[in-house]
Amino acid sequence: MFINCKSRKKPKSFSLILCLFLLCLLSGCGLRKAANQADGNQITLSPEPNNTMGVSDRTEEADTNNKVVTIEPSDTSNTTEDPKIEDFSEMDKYFKDYTFDVSYDEKLAFYQRTFSIQGAFDLNRDGEADRINAVLKANYEEGSYIEVNGIKVTLDPFNPSGEIQIIDLDSKDSYVEVAIFDEGPSGDPNFKFFQYDGKELYSLGSIDRYALMDGQGKFISWFHLTNYFKPQFFSAWGEFKNKEYVITNHDVEQYIGKTYEVDGSGYFVPLDKNPENFFEHTVWDLETLREFKETKIKLLDIHIEPEDRTLNWFYVELPDGERGLLYFWIGD
């Protein structure tokens, strides 16, 4: 029998059941929605796509990265980045235009003289001149000292000349230093540096006379330079940290294989093969001494010790193809 749904009336009980079913269905949806809202992780990890939220996230990440770039690298770059040799020049450039009053007995031989030195200079840049006195005696004789505003530090020069300078080792700090010259025991001239901070007088250490400096606290020793090569390069650089002189090794492998111009008197020992021990082939006599004048050499290897950065022994190839060990006289 065919039933006409349009004309047939629904029983009241059926309508009541239908209403109850719809009410339960709506209640269940509400419960699931409440559960989702209570679960914070689910909402956070599955947000609806929103352009504003995406821009906000990227901006916060960029801000965090900016803090890393602008703060941390600025500190580490000053301590780890090797300096450039073109930023260095002779120490004389950094001497202040000031002359001390130096007196001594001219009748005595040079090695017998006692130098008395007086002067005044604002060492800690507080606007007031500091009184500087020094007594220099030769051959490690007792009684040598430097004194600033009554604060005395004993010295032990071997061969002083009476030369004393005011120098700015690092323009970034608030001090200028006193530099006392010593010829050394066997032709090893050097400067000893002293710093006064307004309360104490510190000995910073010494540097060989012909070292280079950049005026920003960094130095390259004459012994760590290729003094007869053009262009020059270096094996180490140093700086004063916490009243100590700290040396940092510089990678010299990058210079091997390049061609340089050599000027000056050097020793050359012909060798077909690169020696394993360069000391065994080092000979200091006239037979191995040669005069180089703008000679183009190819640098094949550099012999250098990790703990001693003296840069002086090179395995090279001369313009005529001859190979050998090249080195120079750098003192005792």
Average pLDDT over residues 134-154: 97
CA 181 to chain centre: 26
φ/ψ of residue 113, rounded to 5:
-75, 145
% of the chain with per-residue pLDDT over 90:
69
For the four alpha carbons of 137, 141, 143 and 149, in that order, the dihedral sign comes to positive
| Residue 178, pLDDT above cutoff 60 | yes
Report the pLDDT value the prediction gives residue 241, as an integer from 0 to 100. Answer: 83
Q: Are 238 and 212 in contact (CB under 8 A)?
A: no
What is the rounded CA–CA span in Å between residue 233 and residue 81?
Answer: 16
User: Tokens 């390259």 identify what position?
Assistant: 220
CA dist 16 → 5, 11, 226, 270 (Å): 18, 9, 104, 114
Which pLDDT value is given to residue 310? 95
Backbone angles phi, psi at 234, to 5 degrees: -140, 160
Q: Tens of pLDDT along 278-328?
A: 999 999 999 999 999 999 999 999 999 888 899 999 999 999 999 999 999
What is the spatial distance between Cα 264 and Cα 330, in angstroms, rounded to a whole number? 12
214 HSE (CA, 13 A, CB side)? 17
**Across 44-66, average pLDDT:** 34
Q: What would the mean pLDDT of 58-77 be, rounded to a whole number?
A: 31
Give the CA distances from residue 318 to residues 10, 193, 260, 274, 323, in Å, rounded to whole numbers and listed in that order.
114, 42, 10, 14, 6
Most confident of 10-14, 189-193, 240-244: 189-193
Mean pLDDT, residues 38-66:
34
Q: Which of 262, 198, 214, 264 is nearest to 89 (CA)?
A: 214
Q: Which residue has the tokens 């010259």?
A: 181
Amino acid 240: pLDDT: 85
- Residue position matching structure tokens 């002779």: 90
Mean pLDDT, the chain, integer: 81
The answer on pLDDT for 175 being more than 60 is yes
Q: How far is CA 93 from CA 1, 62, 181, 213, in A?
A: 119, 44, 16, 9
pLDDT value of residue 81: 79
* Residue 247: CA count within 13 A, CB half-sphere: 17
Number of H helices, E strands in the chain: 3, 19
pLDDT of residue 332: 65
Res 59 pLDDT > 80: no
Q: What is the C-alpha to C-alpha distance for residues 315 and 255, in angstroms, rounded to an integer?
A: 12
Tell me: the pLDDT tens digits for 81-126? 789 999 999 999 999 999 999 999 999 998 899 999 999 999 999 9
**Strands 190-196 and 177-182, how do they pair?**
antiparallel
For the chain, report the end-to-end CA distance as a whole number of angstroms: 128
pTM higher than 0.75, yes or no?
A: no
Q: How far is CA 320 from the centre of its chain?
A: 40
DSSP assignment string, 244-295: EEEEEE---GGGTT-EEEEEEEEEEEE-SS--S-GGGG---SGGGEEEEEEE
d(CA 327, CA 266): 6
Q: Tell me if 190 sits within 8 A of 116, measured CB to CB.
A: no
d(CA 326, CA 331): 16
